[in-house]
Amino acid sequence: MDKRAAASLLIIVSVFVVLGIGLMKPTITKAVQPDQGKLASLGDNLNGSLWIATRAGFGPSATVVNQTVEVSFPTNSANDPSLGIFGAGLSSRCTVKGDFDAQVNFRLVNWTFSNGVRVGLASTPGPFFASDFFTTPPFAAERTSFGSPTGDAPGVPREVYLTDFLDRVHGLIPTSDTSGSLRLVRSAGSETGYYLSSGNWVTIHTGPSITQDIHLDIVAWSHDFAFTHTFVKVAFDNFTLSRGSAACPAIMLNPSIGPIGTKVLVQGSGFPTSTYGPGTVMVTFDDMLSGFATTTNGTFRFTFDVPDAQAGAHLVKALDEITGTSAVASFQVTQINTLALTVDVGTLYFPGDNVAVYTLATLSGTPLNSTTAQLELTLTKPDGSDITIDSTFIGSGLFKATYAIPSTGLVGTYSIVARAHAANVQDASALTTFEVKPTWLSAQGPALTTAAAATAITGIVALSAVAWKKGVIRNKID
């Protein structure tokens, strides 16, 4: 039996059930305003932490406008071939445990008779769009428009309220409502669907349901065999959860800020539990896989190192792929600050000179000052001895130090090592050298002395020769 035939048979069987029950007086419950302290406002919660957009197939979209969720179906909307369904809406990130009472208002903004679109408030244990609902129900209270009279539930009213629980489709209450409210109540293993009429809740049907944790879904959907290709728009607002225990998934990052390479601890809570054992959560950084964590009683711990990323906010996400439950937190990647030093000094000096040492200190290109940087200069002499010289901040990251070379100072190569320290960054150092040479006169002294002596001797010899030639010396001898 193909799916269309199975669906038609299922609906027809439901009609007979409804006709049998229809002889009874319908159950009407006066609408009571929920406790405001327990409300989960749809408008307030559409911040991505408690709700997530859900979608299947081609064409449908869900948008948020003025605290209202609008689901639109273009005329060319079509199935996801692997699922046999198309639609869109919102699913709660939080899971609801035990008994609950949820409500939502709807408006059929663009709606044609018998268009094939289902509008529902559902309670699914996993992602809403995981199947075509022929084998598993959506656990929903619906305002439904059956489409093709031959392919989509032939022989039943076209516009109805209905429920689809474990006992499948029931209710099929004809309606022309283009706005109203849907309500789902789970109690002790049974689920009841309601619609609001004249201020009272009217029971659609009570049937068996699951007892496990569920997600609440505000959705609209259809199938290729049902959709009549007319433009449809549906709006939801004023969602409330007036009874029930919601476990909202959350992750905390420690730390939540740091540079590339920072080791981050991810701590998760509020994830679904299973009677089949521990679950698995996928952790991503900007949608890039970081690894998998095992959940125990809905909690987990996971550690990763921040990968290469630009400075700024980045999303860390934990996802339970089986149920679709996820949580997101932001990690702020900071710029890796680098402390840098540049030391400048002359290349050649003589004894008695004053050496000027200039040091530029920057942090990632930004000049530092004497408050943000601690600078130390060490001068090493040619004989290996060293001294510390003081520097003075003169502005724009520049420090100046001076060293007076003694007039009897050593000649040779002098070195200066500059070391700087700034908060929260690695220390930096820089090296420079200069030469001290003797003055020209002192360097030439021995040569000059020798030359003078030789000149004097030569002069004496020359004078003696002249004197001899003129007979001065000979006369005295004679």
Q: Which pLDDT tens digit goes with each residue over 193-204? A: 999 999 999 999
Q: Indicate the pLDDT class of residue 14, thresholds 50, 70 and 90.
A: very low
pLDDT of residue 39: 35
Percent of the chain with pLDDT over 90: 57
Mean pLDDT of 96-101: 90
pLDDT of residue 117: 97
Q: Indicate the pLDDT class of residue 21, thresholds 50, 70 and 90.
A: very low
Mean pLDDT of 263-290: 87
Q: Where are the beta strands (DSSP E) in 223-322?
A: 232-247, 250-254, 257-258, 263-269, 279-285, 288-295, 300-305, 312-319
Nearest to 93 by CA among 268, 216, 265: 216
pLDDT of residue 125: 87
Residue 213's φ and ψ, nearest 5 degrees, are -60, 145
CA distance linking residue 88 with residue 107, whole number of Å: 15
CA end-to-end span of the chain, whole Å? 162
pLDDT of residue 23: 31
Given the structure tokens 């890796």, which residue do they identify? 336
Q: Is 287 exposed, middle or buried (0-12, 13-18, 19+ CB in 10 A)?
A: exposed
Give the pLDDT confidence of 51-65 residue by residue, as tens digits: 888 999 999 999 988
Q: Is the pLDDT of residue 241 over 60?
A: yes
pLDDT of residue 471: 55
Q: Is the pLDDT of residue 81 over 90?
A: yes
pLDDT of residue 443: 55
Domain 339-436 has CATH 2.60.40.1930: yes
Mean pLDDT of 286-298: 91
Which of 102-106, 111-115, 415-419, 471-475 comes out lowest in average pLDDT? 471-475
Mean pLDDT of 401-424: 92
Q: Is the pLDDT of residue 12 over 60?
A: no
Q: Indicate the pLDDT class of residue 126, thresholds 50, 70 and 90.
A: confident
Given the structure tokens 């698995």, which residue do they identify? 280
Element (H, E) at 433: strand 428-436
CATH architecture of 3-246: Sandwich (2.60)
Mean pLDDT of 320-345: 87
Non-local (6+) Cβ contacts of 176 within 8 A are: 159
CA distance linking residue 149 with residue 237, whole number of Å: 31
Give the CATH number of domain 250-333: 2.60.40.1930
More confident residue, 353 or 9: 353
Query: Which letter, b or e, does each residue of 462-471 get, where b requires 16 or more Cβ atoms within 10 Å of its Cβ?
Result: eeeeeeeeee
Q: Is the pLDDT of residue 32 over 50?
A: no
Q: Indicate the pLDDT class of residue 3, thresholds 50, 70 and 90.
A: very low
Mean pLDDT of 270-293: 86
pLDDT of residue 134: 86
DSSP-derived letter for residue 116 is -
Give the pLDDT confidence of 439-475 residue by residue, as tens digits: 865 555 555 444 444 454 455 445 455 454 555 444 4
Whole-model pTM: value is 0.58
Mean pLDDT of 40-44: 43
CA distance linking residue 124 with residue 129, whole number of Å: 10
pLDDT of residue 473: 47
pLDDT of residue 459: 52
CA distance linking residue 309 with residue 470, whole number of Å: 102
pLDDT of residue 97: 85
Mean pLDDT in the chain?
A: 83
CA distance linking residue 29 with residue 202, whole number of Å: 6
